[in-house]
Amino acid sequence: MSLLQKNALVSGYKSRRTVATRILSYAPLETPVGCLFAAYDGEVLCLISAKEEAMFLDKARQILKMLPVREPVLPARLAQWILDAIQGQTPDLIPMDLSSLTFFQRKVLEQILEIPRGEVRSYAWVAREIGHPRANRAVGTALARNPLPFIIPCHRVVCSDGQLGAYSGGVGTLKERLLAHEGVDLPYLYDLKHRRLYYRGDRNTNIFCLPICYLCKQAKEQNIIYFRSIQEAMATGYRSCKVCRPIPQLSEEG
């Protein structure tokens, strides 16, 4: 059973409660990265966003096909699930509704659940991992339609050229603040991208990784070597990391 299925992220949820019988509510929640709004049906999370309330309601109308009723506070259990997820302690089972998404879009969200906290991957990496290496744009569309950011960490997907890209959960610098909150060293990444250094190797293991893969972060400073391409790394005798599974950057693909 997939991780999405374990968390009740299947379209069957919607079939059990029709639009006419659904009782949707929403409430604000203060978090370490700012105030957000969450819509829910009982104990099922349906939509999360840190956008302004009016924008949140507009998104609810588009995705949920109805406007939820405002409540003063979130139910304690739902609030704790969201706060735990932001702190990197997502429970194994969270009832969630992704019934508005296609099979492909749910497959994308399932893949990004595998990206470790404190690391990032590219849209191209996600596309390759789900078996559709040319579907970068479709991956971006799926992430844009993620109704449950913060729980499903689409902020960990960035552009191959080093730009952070858009974020469905909010506007402004929220994506940057979330990554920094998780321990991503953004100045370090920006510096490497500026110098066109896309991979980081460990002379002790002869393994090369994406720059913030947790395996390569364990390397001692004197053992670190950087590469501009996968070809350069492999020609030097390094083998690809089996954890982060690096792929060619846009600069290598022409």
Catalytic residue numbers? 154
The one-letter code for the residue type at 212 is I
Question: Helix (H) and strand (E) counts for the chain?
Answer: 11, 10
CA 155 – CA 135 distance, rounded (Å): 18
CB-based contact 30:49 (threshold 8 Å): no
Angle at 92 between CA 111 and CA 152, to 5 degrees: 40
Positive or negative, the CA dihedral 5, 18, 102, 176 is negative
* Token pair in block for residue 110: 């399932």
CA 84 – CA 24 distance, rounded (Å): 23
Report the candidate in 71, 78, 60, 74 with the shortest Cα–Cα distance to residue 19: 60
CA 103 – CA 101 distance, rounded (Å): 7
Residue that is written with structure tokens 């302690």 in the block: 89
CA 119 – CA 117 distance, rounded (Å): 6
